Amino acid sequence: MGQIFNRIKDISKSYINDDGSNFSGDVNLNDPSDTELKRVIEELNKGADPNAGKQKTGSGKREEMKMDLISACRILQVNSNASIDQIKTAYKNRIKEYHPDKVANLGNDIKVLAEKKTQEINRAYEFLKKEKIF
């Protein structure tokens, strides 16, 4: 998947004026020069359902959906037979890639997507911790 946030950072740096001041205009996602940013946002949006990870019950309360081994491994990008050290390393790498603090200055939409992805990664890691008992 690559270093999405590094690409976003590079794109945002391209909007800094020569005199060092910040770009004051809005990003136009229909502008061909912004296609890379649009692609990154779409990649972040892929599978980002506002109700993802939640399920409505009959009483109207929301609960965490049950996570399975395959989903957790897919989210952390590890095999189902990965060792504990491999799971921990994958978790750290995924969190580094999607942590909301890395994109705090790139706009609220991207920050919200990063928060959702971070929550998904944390849920997967917690599931695997319980599954593998560590």
Is the distance from CB of 62 to CB of 36 less than 8 angstroms?
no
User: How confident is residue 14, by pLDDT bands cut at 50, 70 and 90?
Assistant: low
Give residue 85's pLDDT: 96
Q: What tokens does 104 get?
A: 């705090």
Q: For the chain, what percent of residues have pLDDT higher than 90? A: 34
Q: How far apart are CA 70 and CA 63, in angstroms?
A: 20
Q: How far apart are CA 5 and CA 40, in angstroms?
A: 9
Give the residue extent of every domain in the chain. Answer: 4-49+66-132
103 vs 30, more confident: 103
Burial of 8 (0-12, 13-18, 19+ CB in 10 A): buried
Q: Say what the pTM is.
A: 0.54
Give residue 46's pLDDT: 66
Give residue 57's pLDDT: 41
